[in-house]
Structure 1
Amino acid sequence: ERQVIEMRYGLFNGLKETQREIARKLGISRSYVSRIEKRALKKLIREISIEM
């Protein structure tokens, strides 16, 4: 999850990548990248809500 979010939003190197690019690099489907991204974002939102 962390790797997908870092790649998607350019958190590691400043380069934002599409779901399709991430899928190709990781050897998984674009739809799986989408599911991973959604799950990770839900976790982040939940953690932010708890801390506020």
Structure 2
Amino acid sequence: MLGTAPDVVADAVENQCEQERLGRQLNKLSGREKWVLEMRFGMPGGAKKTQRDIAKLLGISRSYVSRIEKRAINKLGKHMSAEEP
């Protein structure tokens, strides 16, 4: 069991680095895009919400929430691939 401790620590450090990287990229999104993703995926440490729940909170259609979410995820993907060495 002692041989697994370095692996656990390495995994924890890698996970923390990925979360910090994601946080930097989320800050590049518009306020609404960032808020929708945070609500959808329960970040940081909150409860996940459905597109319908978010639509009610914002007073918009569920399909519009879906479009905002899709656009934000696409932007995140582009920003994160551009950041990789």
Q: TM-score, normalised by structure 1?
A: 0.93
Aligned-pair CA distance for 1:43: 0.4
Give the one of 31, 34, 50 matched to 2:63. 31
- In 2, distance between residues paired with 1:36 and 1:19? 10
Q: What residue in structure 1 maps to residue 74 of structure 2?
A: 42
Structure ranking higher in helix proportion: 2
Structure index of larger Rg: 2
Point out which structure has higher relative CO (alpha carbons under 8 A, 6+ apart). 1
Q: What percent of counterpart residues are identical?
A: 62
Contiguous gaps of at least 5 residues in structure 1: none
1:7 aligns with 2:39: yes
Provide runs of 4+ in structure 1 moved above 6 Å. Answer: none
